[in-house]
Structure 1
């Protein structure tokens, strides 16, 4: 393709992006405020924390209505509400707020503050939410109005969580639910801060980095069992799809799963260049459907960068760490290399958005990430066995508790290290551009040097 055609396609894509961005950000449902009486259906599983719950409804009583009718409700921890409940709501409809730089939770002694202005309105807009209501009057007037398949998946997940909470106590059960489901409801603020201090907050989310590394480890394990590469690939993708369905298929997990699936395809084909193009194409397709993800969804940014980091930097780190062994059933060097690669690629975005960098992140993650895949598999064996026959769950709860205790112990040890966090406030976006340009140049030089080594032979 000629440079002129590349420039033409880039300009067309840029113009289309501006059009779609304006269409999404200027939704006619935005800006409606005042006291209202309305009826709506809970359109996704409520986000329950220790003291409150956030509920997304679609007003009008039809779960398939347009995104413009989605409203976020904040209410007390009880009574409990379920996906598909039909609610009668009375309260004040408001536009989401904009939080200023330096704002923090005044009820907490957290050292972490917002690194820059946070436009909550635009953050919610990426999910089609343009209005919020705080502690309205709510009356349940019906149940079972949701999608039955989604309802069944959520029911399965809740049964799994009940098994976990029956046999495992905090903080380990909080780490379990966050690791498997991305649900931080059982994690106390103290432990959330420990995760921040150690740079391990990503394990409390269904992130592209975690899913990609876990999927890659499963693929390697299946290959070590003697399966052909194609067989191992399809089985890994099937297990990945099953995992996403078992946790309720939230949008973040679907996006992370797509990224991980593409990485697996690149490993299957043996040509990582195909993976690079496929990841970019998948990201472009997602942004065509919802361009607000690029600007306002940090999770999307981190998932994309983590997978790209693993594709581009893992071969480099694997070469540097070649003295570390790769065991047949557990590729230790590859896992450490993937962890470092994802960390390097995502570090600038983390600093830019949160205003700090964990100085203990690398050693903490090296001691944690390689074990996430076996721990995840062990947790699923525990949960499924407990759902089949409860005493089986009790038997498997001991190794699960032991494995999770290892994670919490590592996090706790590194969180206690003095000066574990370095604050870098007011980072200008130009430094992000400089970092990625330098990183891109370094990767290009390394790839060229590898080509020269190949040609010498």
Structure 2
């Protein structure tokens, strides 16, 4: 009997991961969702261990194995961090449905709607059993019958009823406030508010808020329309003082993103700073120390929205990496790094619509826009820069809209049919408006600023009237029912197939 010995050569799998930040993000997301759906610890850790073992076997690279160990740690951390955030009970919960008096510091610019004002306060002091206590938690103040001015950084005394937010039928108000690190709100009548004293933020922020107040004052002096002043402040600093009619028109036409500071605004300011620094021949290794504080202060003044924070961090990533490794600069990978950082700080951020819209729009621009642009350039075969610009604008607007559409439908229950057309018409005006607004507002006490702001006043009036006409188009906005998980999966799968990231093999016909 002959025995044959087979020499089997086993080769190590030469596998690599181009974007490890995506893997880290997925593990953080896994920990977050398992905690949110209250999955038992034993199930969470069992699945986590199985995934780790499989990846450890498949990938032989030690550096990748270290990344997987980091993923396990971050996924576990997020699991328990999310549980803590969901179960956290504020000091003020014991006063739920009670009328109390508090002294607190205003930390956000007021938002107005009809005769109601919303502000957020911190450093809340209250009296209990003859002793003064301080709560570290942020509190939302809802002021009725008032559109008053409340200075950021100042202390006020409020008397009203403390409420614990609840989950409504179509909107989980409790979860929404927790995404903002707020656990209670207080209903207050404007007559029950007293000014206590002024206080100051750190020097640089205090001066920044003073500069913003002076900026608004310059606008009010030089621009005839108060509605245009509010519109410009909404575009530049995300102030929510736009009149109801204008806001509704922008929402119907799919232009509500214009009324909040986003990547467009931060990117423009970043480009302007880089341009001026290049005029003075400042070396790259020093630029970041000028760019970082300027962008941080601007984003702080704009309310630290997710889109603005993401854009700021992307700009800083780009600036730091361009010092030595510009060829390794990968905005797609950086986006997942930023998303991971934000979720590690507050895992519940993922349930905030601003976070969802911001990152889904970026994914659409990265994944779908280049494919659309290449196909359209092949069709039109144009070398004209103006045509290329509008093709680029169309691709960016369309890809962002398609990736955010399910979120818009599930959040607002409606979709804008004319959004892409409206973005093509209005978005080209935004960059000049931002630049003119910044220059005119800062130089508003001089003749040059007066001329710029008066011209801008006319442009904004034209924009408001044009958006109103577009919003009046029949069926501009269509009500749509809630999309379930199956529809969402099929929708995004089709988008990825169109973009070429998922391929369907075709069977060849047999020839006889």
With normalisation by structure 1, the TM-score equals 0.79
2:489 corresponds in structure 1 to 433
Does the Cα contact within 8 Å between 1:215 and 1:240 map onto a contact in 2? no
Contact persistence 2:314–2:331 (CA under 8 A): no
1:121 is the counterpart of 2:174 = yes
1:150 aligns with 2:211: no
Cα 1:444–1:240, aligned 2, differ >3 Å: closer, same or farther? Answer: farther
SS at match of 2:454: helix
**Whole-Å separation in 1 of the counterparts to 2:461 and 2:338:** 37
- Of the two structures, which has the highest relative contact order with CA contacts closer than 8 Å and spacing of 6 or more? 1
Alpha-carbon distance in structure 2 between the residues aligned to 1:52 and 1:369: 31
How far did residue 84 of structure 1 move? 2.2
Pairwise mapping of residues 49-448 of structure 1 onto structure 2 (< 5 A)?
49=113, 51-61=115-125, 67-77=136-146, 79-100=148-169, 117-136=170-189, 137-166=192-221, 167-185=223-241, 187-208=242-263, 210-211=264-265, 214=268, 242=294, 245-246=297-298, 248-252=301-305, 254-258=308-312, 260-261=314-315, 274-295=330-351, 297-322=352-377, 323=380, 327=385, 331-386=389-444, 389-445=445-501
**Distance in 2 separating the partners of 1:308 and 1:73:** 36
**Pair 1:26-2:90 in alignment:** no
Q: Deviations over 1:362-417 (max 9, x none)?
A: 0000111133112211111111111xx34332211233123323422331221111
1:13 Cα deviation after fit: 4.2
Give the Å deviation of 1:346. Answer: 1.3
Contact 1:71/1:133 (8 A) holds in 2: yes
Of 309-318 and 117-126, more deviation after overlay is shown by: 309-318
Q: Is the 8 A contact 1:237 1:261 kept in 2?
A: no
Structure 2, unaligned stretches of length 5 or more?
1-15, 17-53, 57-64, 127-133, 505-512
For 2:99 and 2:479, the matched residues in 1 are separated by 42
Distance in 1, matches of 2:159 and 2:267, equals: 46
State how far apart, in whole Å, the 1-side matches of 2:452 and 2:385 are.
26
In the alignment, the residues of structure 1 paired with residue 402 and residue 328 of structure 2 have an alpha-carbon distance, to the nearest angstrom, of 19
8 Å CA contact 2:496, 2:502 repeated in 1: no
Q: CA deviation at 1:260?
A: 4.6
In the alignment of these two chains, the number of paired residues is 422
**Which stretch has the larger CA shift, 15-24 or 117-126?**
15-24
Taking only aligned residues, the RMSD between alpha carbons, in angstroms, comes to 3.8
* 8 Å CA contact retained: 2:295, 2:312: no
Q: Following the alignment from structure 2 to structure 1, what is the Cα–Cα distance between the partners of residues 493 and 359?
A: 17
Question: Cα distance 1:392–1:243, how it changes in 2: closer, same or farther (>3 A)?
Answer: farther
Question: Following the alignment from structure 1 to structure 2, what is the Cα–Cα distance between the partners of residues 434 and 233?
Answer: 46
Structure 1: distance between partners of 2:202 and 2:459: 36
Deviation at 1:127, TM superposition (A): 1.7
